[in-house]
Homo-oligomer: A and B are copies of this chain.
Amino acid sequence: MARKPFRPSLDRYPYHAEVSTRFSDNDVYQHLNNAVYYQFYDAIINQHMMEKTSWNPALKRGEVLSDNAFQKGLVVASSTEYLEIIDGFPKPVTLGLAVTRLGKSSVEYEIGVFQGDKSLPAKALGRFVHCFVDIDTGRTRPEGMPFEIRDCLAKLIVEPLPKL
């Protein structure tokens, strides 16, 4: 299972966030527990959307201008390559967010996980696929994801990394 993955630097990512870690994030070996990375992905992805668009996870139909806006993102796939150990608490973690594929209703994000010196390459690489569906019906809409969200995600598009 040899692997020499390409390790991007923070400047690959159009959107950044710093997140604090918690004592309870560390496992018995004092590393950041592997499941916590996914809490970070969820955080940066939703934070980005809430900051850049009118979307929020508690939308009510009466509050949106059109049915197109009344959608939520369902997670259909997620993955992580853990490239280097992250010390975790009490050190904070820096995240970079990019879009590597933007479909009609779905988006594939790439998240770079960094710690410490920002010139160092990513210590982990995450991927996260959201599919937008109508909040009531749970089905994709004929016109695809909310227009406002598509415009916002389009600004994060980068070239996908070479396949391993």
- When the two chains form their complex, are residues B75 and A82 in contact, meaning their CB atoms are under 8 A apart? yes
Contact pick for A50, options B74, B79, B80, B90, CB 8 Å: B90
Q: CB of A65 within 8 A of chain B?
A: no
In the complex, the count of this chain's copies comes to 4
Chosen A-B contacts, 8 in total, with CB atoms closer than 8 Å, are A1-B101, A19-B20, A23-B46, A24-B24, A27-B28, A28-B30, A51-B90, A78-B80
Q: What B residues does A138 contact at CB under 8 A?
A: 85
Residues of chain A at interface, number, CB under 8 A: 49
Minimum Cβ distance to chain B for residue A52 (Å): 12
Tell me what chain A mostly uses at the interface: helix, strand, loop, or mixed.
mixed
Q: What B residues does A90 contact at CB under 8 A?
A: 43, 46-47, 50-51
Within 8 A of B (CB), among A22-41: 22-24, 26-30, 33-36, 38-40
Bound CA span A28–B34, Å:
15
Q: CB of A103 within 8 A of chain B?
A: yes
- When the two chains form their complex, are residues A22 and B34 in contact, meaning their CB atoms are under 8 A apart? no
With A1-B101, A75-B82, A77-B82: A24-B51 Cβ-Cβ less than 8 Å: no
Q: A1-B131, A74-B85 are in contact. List 16 more A-B contacts (CB 8 A).
A: A18-B20, A19-B22, A22-B43, A23-B33, A23-B57, A24-B24, A24-B27, A24-B43, A28-B28, A30-B57, A34-B75, A35-B38, A38-B38, A51-B90, A77-B82, A78-B82
